[in-house]
Amino acid sequence: MPRSIGSFVERIVVLFEGGFARLLLVPALAFIGIFVVFPLVWSVILSFTNYSLIGIRAVKYGFVGLQNYYRILSDIVFRDSVISSFTFTVFSALIGQAFLGLALAIVARMKPPEGPLGIVVRALKVIAITLVFIPWVIPEVVAGYAWAAITDKGGLLTKLLGVEERLYLTRPLETIIIANIWRGTAFSMILFMAALESIPSYIYEAAEIDGTTPWQRFRHVTLPLIAHAIIVDFILITIWTFGVFTIPFIMLREQPSALWTLYVYSKAVSVYEPARAAAAANIMFIIVLALIISYLKLLGRLRRWE
């Protein structure tokens, strides 16, 4: 009996060492190929054609070279949408989400005082963390309509500010920046909490014995040790924020210059020009890819400094 079990196990090992293990990767690779690789390749091909959803070009379309890219780059609305997207990403993600997420992670890691006051502080901390997590777990559609409601005429935020107009129309960029910070801060906080937990406590104890102030410990101990987490957070939230669509679409669907995602949508659906929309999307893909490469180079420099 032991021999038969041993031979069976050996056969299983041989199968996994051979082609069977690769066979198990087929579903995942097929999913990536269908939903990631194919749309990317098709977008590139489509951007070099004059394909349209209406008219004769919906049936008979041909190759037009870089004409779509030239028209997109010459479009002042596209340039405005790119500038707005950069502003939106810098203020809502790199400054808003990352800074607020780091601050909340540091506060969450602080040791509460002893006694009854400590119990109250712990309870308030749990409530605060829960309130930060709620926007992250609710669906984007719900968040979008909630923000559209509170910034509409007679909405909660407009009443508090004493404004009669719809904030998402009079101050569109500022409104979606605040909405995106509100929704995305939880992710940065989780990432930074994990990074802070990985720092050994004896490092802080040694720094405290040396007479350092809390700011000096943060500047010379905490920041260098979580620098990699900050870069990773920047990479992820940059990708997500540049591609955010649902909340801005619900609030600003009639303003294609507000963000590049809304511009692409307007070209593909409102104007029925998917070829130009593909060209605009490919341009932004190159821009975001350049940003990610710069982040990775910075991450490589941090590793060489260690």
Which residue pairs from 277-286 have beta carbons closer than 8 angstroms and sit at least 24 positions apart in sequence?
278/43, 278/44, 278/46, 278/47, 278/68, 279/47, 279/68, 279/69, 279/71, 279/72, 280/72, 280/78, 281/43, 282/43, 282/44, 282/47, 282/69, 283/69, 283/72, 283/73, 284/82, 284/85, 284/242, 284/260
pLDDT at 100: 92
Read off the amino acid at residue 102: L
What pLDDT does 1 receive? Answer: 46
- pLDDT value at residue 117: 74
The reply to whether 131 and 261 lie within a common domain is yes
Do residue 39 and residue 119 come from a single domain?
no
Residue 144, domain member (yes or no): yes
Which pLDDT tens digit goes with each residue over 21-76?
677 778 888 999 998 899 999 999 999 999 988 888 877 888 998 999 999 999 99
Whether 58 is covered by a domain: the verdict is no
15 has pLDDT over 60 = no
Which value, in Å, is the radius of gyration of the alpha carbons in the chain? Answer: 25
Tell me whether residue 104 is in a domain. Answer: yes
Judge whether 56 lies within some domain.
no
Condensed to tens digits (0 to 9), the pLDDT of residues 240-295 reads 999 899 999 988 876 777 899 999 999 988 888 999 999 999 999 999 999 889 88
* Pair (10, 98) in one structural domain: no
**Residue range(s) defining the domain that contains residue 13:** 2-47
**Number of folded domains that form the chain:** 2
Q: Does residue 64 lie within any of the structural domains?
A: no
Check whether residue 94 and residue 223 sit in a common domain.
Answer: yes
Q: Which residues of 226-257 are buried (b: 16+ CB within 10 A; e: fewer)?
A: bbebbbebbbbbbbebbebeebbbbbbeebbb
Same domain? 34 vs 147: no
Asked if residue 262 is part of any domain, the answer here is yes
Q: Give yes or no: residues 7 and 130 share one domain.
A: no
**Residues 74 and 150 both lie in one domain:** yes
Check whether 18 has a pLDDT greater than 70: no
Residues 140 and 27 in one domain: no
Assess whether pLDDT exceeds 90 at residue 149: no
130 and 196 in a common domain: yes
Same domain, 25 and 104: no
Domain CATH number, residue 194: 1.10.3720.10
Does residue 77 share a domain with residue 16? no
Banded model confidence at residue 188, pLDDT cuts 50, 70, 90: very high
Nearest-angstrom CA–CA distance, 49 and 57? 10
If asked whether residues 137 and 213 sit together in one domain, one would say: yes
Asked if residue 141 has pLDDT above 70, the reply is: yes
Average pLDDT, the chain: 85
**Quick check: is 54 in a domain?**
no
